[in-house]
């Protein structure tokens, strides 16, 4: 069972996240925290495998500080925020899930995080991640080769063919000027 810590300063959103996560019997939420002090206290009680961290927290705490402290304790972090960082932070977190997101985006993000935690090879069923999810820890998955489909030559449009025919000046030059 994968143990998760939710670090979110909005209690309503934290409760909804907890309910959505615990719908899957493979996941258990070990604690809810709203700042650095409560997240460290929750880690002292039960060490989670993954922490879902909002970047703007209560009591002037930053999600970056929480991620750095939890990373020192060996906890993988996944940012869940409305304002995603404009640059990757692989030293602090494995990725970022931008708010608002749907339940299936959260499920996919947790599955990807679990695969990274367990060191599993990614089985590419979907070639791309949800638009809200950006992973820092892994390179984009290669698209599966579709060897079963016959190769189809790209065909030029009717306009391109006509323009190619029109732009061949050698065929239409007159020799009257010679």
Classify residue 148: in a domain, yes or no. no
Classify residue 162: in a domain, yes or no. no
Q: What is the CATH number of the domain that holds 99?
A: 3.40.50.2300
Residue 174 has pLDDT above 70, yes or no: no
Classify residue 170: in a domain, yes or no. no
Structure-model confidence comparison of residues 71 and 173, the more confident one:
71
Classify residue 163: in a domain, yes or no. no
- Domain of 121? 2-135
Instruction: Read off the pLDDT of residues 43-69 as tens digits, 9 standing for 90 and up.
Output: 999 999 999 999 888 888 888 899 999
Classify residue 6: in a domain, yes or no. yes
Whole-number mean pLDDT of the chain?
A: 77
Classify residue 161: in a domain, yes or no. no
Classify residue 67: in a domain, yes or no. yes
C-alpha dist (Å) from residue 105 to 50, 117, 155, 167, 172: 16, 18, 37, 51, 60
**Band of pLDDT at residue 90, cut at 50, 70 and 90:** confident
Classify residue 156: in a domain, yes or no. no
Number of domains into which the chain is organized: 1
Specify the pairing of strand 95-98 against strand 50-53.
Answer: unpaired
């Amino acid at each position: 069972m994968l143990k998760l810590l939710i670090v979110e300063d909005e209690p309503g959103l934290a409760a909804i996240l907890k309910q959505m996560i615990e719908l899957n019997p493979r996941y258990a939420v070990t604690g809810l925290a709203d700042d650095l002090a409560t997240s460290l206290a929750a880690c002292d009680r039960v060490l989670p495998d993954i922490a879902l961290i909002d970047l703007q927290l209560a009591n002037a705490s930053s999600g970056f500080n929480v991620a750095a402290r939890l990373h020192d304790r060996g906890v993988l972090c996944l940012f869940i925020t409305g304002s995603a960082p404009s640059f990757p932070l692989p030293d602090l977190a494995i990725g970022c899930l931008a708010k608002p997101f749907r339940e299936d985006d959260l499920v996919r993000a947790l599955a990807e995080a679990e695969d990274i935690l367990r060191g599993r090879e990614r089985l590419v069923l979907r070639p791309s991640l949800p638009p809200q999810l950006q992973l820092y820890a892994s390179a984009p998955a290669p698209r599966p080769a579709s060897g079963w489909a016959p190769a189809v030559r790209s065909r030029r449009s009717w306009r391109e063919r006509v323009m190619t025919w029109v732009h061949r000046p050698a065929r239409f030059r007159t020799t009257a000027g010679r």
